[in-house]
Amino acid sequence: MIKVDHLTRIFGNFTAVDDISFEIKKGEIVSFLGHNGAGKTTILKMLTGFLEPSGGSIFIDGLNMETRRSAIQKRIGYLPENCPLYTEMTVIGYLEYTASLHKIPESQRSAVIQKAITRTELTQKATQQISILSRGYRQRVGVAQAILHSPKIIILDEPTNGLDPGQIFQMRSLVRELALNATVIISTHILQEVQAVCDRAIIIQNGKKYLDARLADLRRADRLLVAIDAEPGQAKQVFDAVESVASFESLDAENNCFRYSLAVDGNDNAVNAAPAVAKAVIEKGFRLFSLSQETRDLETIFGEISAQEGRPAK
């Protein structure tokens, strides 16, 4: 559905997006995750054709963005981070205008608009002027215009921005519903939103792709945390005796208790390797203080990014 190769965007002396490649399949819910200013919005603007890349290529639904931009944009529904709305118009009036821009036949507009209003729960606000709506309701209007023409690809930049907890829950349900018939891309810096609705996360750090992984794979335990009374030289003899342990890393030590992180071979997992590790520790005559799975989730990864950038983790 979407293929991006070596995408780059430079503003003067500043490289906002630096040689990023990825593919997104039909029906996936993918998040671009990163701190504010990481380059997420710049990537989305290039994916939607509003910003020309400095280098690289974008293919969407088999079409080249460089030569078929108009055709690609017809396939996309886009909610910008700060959705521009004509605030002097009513919700229905604005959606009617949007429908005309999408060239939806007049005979179909009423049904299409009603469906978008219902899906975004705007029925009670449909005849009100946008200027008097709260930020959360304006966000819903933005989503309504993005899905009005039943696009194949829906791109939402900070879709829960300004929503209260109840509205956030509704937005999550809507995103899951949209993914039944479309590919959905969400840009956010809120970990909870990614974990609640996304299949996959692409983490952007300083314009570069830091990680691209399915959330299910991130949750899968492939490492063990073990605490024993063997210092690193002795611990090597213990862990070398376990066939499924590929490598180990010394973490810290206190009161003759040494903590290690063990990488398990790709053909095994931490759960299956744990008994063999415990057995090896005991057979070598050492004491086993603790043994548990180590998993990398989004919070852990963001903590690593924050540490690298010298900022507090959120």
pLDDT at 2: 95
pLDDT at 307: 66
Q: How many domains does the chain have?
A: 3
Separation between Cα atoms, residue 179 and residue 149, nearest integer Å: 15
pLDDT at 263: 85
State the CATH number of the domain containing residue 226. 3.30.2130.10
pLDDT at 268: 57
Q: Would the CA dihedral through 72, 77, 81, 83 be positive or negative? A: positive
Task: With respect to residue 122, please indicate whether it lies within any of the assigned structural domains.
Answer: yes
pLDDT at 44: 93
- What Cα–Cα distance (Å) separates residue 217 from each residue in 42, 200, 211, 213, 268? 27, 9, 12, 7, 14
Task: With respect to residue 313, please indicate whether it lies within any of the assigned structural domains.
Answer: no
State the CATH number of the domain containing residue 157. 3.40.50.300
DSSP 314: -
pLDDT at 313: 46
Separation between Cα atoms, residue 138 and residue 41, nearest integer Å: 20
pLDDT at 314: 46
- Tell whether 206 and 242 lie within a shared domain: no
Task: With respect to residue 40, please indicate whether it lies within any of the assigned structural domains.
Answer: yes
Range of the domain at 119: 89-147
Task: With respect to residue 314, please indicate whether it lies within any of the assigned structural domains.
Answer: no
- Tell whether 10 and 157 lie within a shared domain: yes
- Tell whether 113 and 254 lie within a shared domain: no
Ordered mean pLDDT values, 10 residues apiece, the chain (314 residues): 95 95 93 88 94 96 94 93 89 96 94 94 95 90 93 90 82 88 90 88 91 80 86 93 90 91 74 90 95 78 68 49
Do the beta carbons of residue 50 and residue 5 sit within 8 Å? no
- Tell whether 251 and 232 lie within a shared domain: yes
Task: With respect to residue 306, please indicate whether it lies within any of the assigned structural domains.
Answer: no
